[in-house]
Structure 1
């Protein structure tokens, strides 16, 4: 990860040093915070993420020999592959993200005869492993760059689908489409209300700035990986629950269906299903509450989301629980873990004047518990992927 003041120059200078020429331009995409709506995306449900003011920048220029080369500030080697050789079974490591997007765009109809090779060099200040979707930032930066360089004229919805396809088929992580959508559709002081079934996306003003609120990220430094078994197990439980209930996906259930679900399903599967059903409703309630009452009224929904992820979906860890409880006790409007779980970060919605107090309290609580010190920083809802020149 590169310091935020340096990512643009680091990408451009790194490109020059690595490839001995000038990039055609710079493109960037942000990481994201999911305000609420966890694990609902692959269940055709609702999510409510926002793009953050931490970005990945790619310097890129086309090549005429059909070869793709990718390098970055976070990996010493340059990875190389011919466009015609792109295949999920031949791609591994961090380069799976940029190579995977190039492959996915070809699957979405990009003309292989005009899909040139390219050199690309990446710099980023999106923390890796914190649940802030550093992967989608890479994918979306590449997607908007190639959309321009390859002359594709794809809309953001198609680019999001390509990023998800890369994540699923090349990286091997069974994620939904939320992360790429947030990275592509983001707007300042707003979140993206996304229907993951229709892919309809609506930008909803958050009003955090006017209400004097900030989002504090508490990165527990507990590593997680979407490609590991925990995430896959939760997805499999959701699919099994939907099948047992006779519906296409858990999106088709609501709270009135839970008594029948409890009678039909084993306890673990039922609790997985209950999280998805109630979390979908919390997303809808959050959007409604923002519109009707404002951002200071959504704290209880954030708190309830964490309880559901901790107890029903069982994807929290003690460090996340401590971060959330300490933030709540120290003046946060609401707090919850964010991201896929099993580590990563918690978020707290905090009055601006209390951010320092909450951060100190969390640091002290982690020290008292014998945990490694967390990384803490605030983020602002920001613009989505874009050309930088």
Structure 2
């Protein structure tokens, strides 16, 4: 759906629900992370691209002090709460992510807001549907309420909404990708100092495609083992005497964690994933900067999946099956994406092999008794923007 059509659809739905056109419609994309999983909250590097799939927010001010939220994807789950009564967990569910953003700037919206949400970012697929919602609403509030928020401020508002209001302890990867990504590029972000670089990422010119395969196993950061992994990383850093695992110089420095106890061995594996994953990000970026054949990054993607599966233990059987089937079908590299415990995988494939790889994964899923995965080719797209 084009931006114009998407904006018009959201505006028309808003008018049908609230009795008048919105003050505007804003959109923010989901993302896939080429490489760099669970490194963001450890101060490391990430390399996401924005998807063409977006969440749209049609917004207008009210004069009754209430926040009214409606989603076309959740038509029976409206939220209506006084802005003054917003608190973590109220409202909950999908509305909590939007309400969390309003909560961050509630003092600037005492009269209330009407918000109509529409979108096509697959939920629970590891593609940052929650961040897309938060960033679309944050950008809308900046414009509607005339808030002086730069791109970094929008990222912070959206991330705090997810962390503090919705209760999902994520880093800044998802919101940064949704706000900062540009068309045709991957975002190379240092999450420690928040410096960034737009790295050209034109796979089509090389005859390649980045295929997204949704396993159909949904995940929810607020209720999954994501928080456990973050706590384990913090404990590993504390035992090593560093503030963040990013500060560990190399894998050999992790030997102090492997003290022979089950806990020590577990922390060693968690930290090993983070340190080696950060190194993989730098290798991929180095290859892309040098103009190397993008096929050369494939083995690093597959290596990253093995690390997420074995050291970080966040994969699930269908994601592993997806990786195995795609590699067997000729993919150059495949790995799960997102926080884990479900979601999607990405496969770097020849452009003319998209159908064959998709069919091979579907056949493997059928043998596992699972429906065929939803799939699409990820085209590096623009970040959050106003549609109308």
Q: Smaller-chain TM-score range?
A: over 0.9
Distance (Å, rounded) in 2 between the aligned partners of 1:319 and 1:114: 44
Q: TM-score, normalised by structure 1?
A: 0.94
Distance (Å, rounded) in 2 between the aligned partners of 1:360 and 1:5: 33
Match of 1:269 among 249, 267, 287: 267
Would the aligned equivalents of 1:216 and 1:378 in 2 still touch at CA under 8 Å?
A: yes
Aligned to 1:79: 79
Aligned to 1:165: 160
Aligned to 2:128: 133
Match of 1:260 among 256, 260, 266: 256
Aligned to 1:191: 186
Distance 1:103 1:79, change over 3 A: same
Structure 1: gaps spanning 5 or more residues? 107-111
Aligned to 1:93: 93
Displacement, 1:113?
5.1
Displacement, 1:241?
0.4
Distance (Å, rounded) in 2 between the aligned partners of 1:74 and 1:177: 26
Distance (Å, rounded) in 1 between the aligned partners of 2:184 and 2:123: 23
Distance 1:153 1:359, change over 3 A: same
Would the aligned equivalents of 1:116 and 1:150 in 2 still touch at CA under 8 Å?
A: no
Aligned to 2:296: 297
Range that drifts further, 220-229 or 260-269: 260-269
Would the aligned equivalents of 2:89 and 2:166 in 1 still touch at CA under 8 Å?
A: no
| 1:372 equivalent in alignment to 2:382 | no
Would the aligned equivalents of 1:207 and 1:295 in 2 still touch at CA under 8 Å?
A: no
Match of 1:205 among 187, 192, 200: 200
Displacement, 1:5?
9.5
> In the TM superposition, what whole-angstrom CA distance separates every residue of 1:99-127 from its partner, at most 9, and x where no partner exists?
10111235xxxxx2565422110111110
Distance 1:297 1:115, change over 3 A: farther
> In the TM superposition, what whole-angstrom CA distance separates every residue of 1:49-97 from its partner, at most 9, and x where no partner exists?
1110101111111123332211011222431222222222533221111
Would the aligned equivalents of 1:40 and 1:280 in 2 still touch at CA under 8 Å?
A: yes
Distance (Å, rounded) in 2 between the aligned partners of 1:253 and 1:148: 41
Range that drifts further, 154-163 or 325-334: 325-334
Structure 2: gaps spanning 5 or more residues? none
> In the TM superposition, what whole-angstrom CA distance separates every residue of 1:333-370 from its partner, at most 9, and x where no partner exists?
21100001111100001111110111111111111222
Match of 1:124 among 109, 119, 122: 119
Report the secondary structure of 1:22's partner residue.
coil
Aligned to 1:359: 358
Distance (Å, rounded) in 2 between the aligned partners of 1:63 and 1:280: 46
Would the aligned equivalents of 1:115 and 1:150 in 2 still touch at CA under 8 Å?
A: no
> In the TM superposition, what whole-angstrom CA distance separates every residue of 1:155-214 from its partner, at most 9, and x where no partner exists?
111111111101011111110010000000111121111111112222111121211221
Distance (Å, rounded) in 2 between the aligned partners of 1:96 and 1:19: 20
Match of 1:236 among 231, 236, 241: 231
> In the TM superposition, what whole-angstrom CA distance separates every residue of 1:36-57 from its partner, at most 9, and x where no partner exists?
1111111111111111010111
Aligned CA-pair RMSD: 1.8
> In the TM superposition, what whole-angstrom CA distance separates every residue of 1:267-320 from its partner, at most 9, and x where no partner exists?
111000100010111111111111111422211110110010011001111110
Would the aligned equivalents of 2:50 and 2:381 in 1 still touch at CA under 8 Å?
A: yes
Aligned to 1:109: none
Aligned to 2:281: 283
Would the aligned equivalents of 1:71 and 1:122 in 2 still touch at CA under 8 Å?
A: yes
Would the aligned equivalents of 1:193 and 1:201 in 2 still touch at CA under 8 Å?
A: yes
Would the aligned equivalents of 1:299 and 1:349 in 2 still touch at CA under 8 Å?
A: yes
Would the aligned equivalents of 2:139 and 2:385 in 1 still touch at CA under 8 Å?
A: yes
Distance (Å, rounded) in 2 between the aligned partners of 1:4 and 1:215: 22
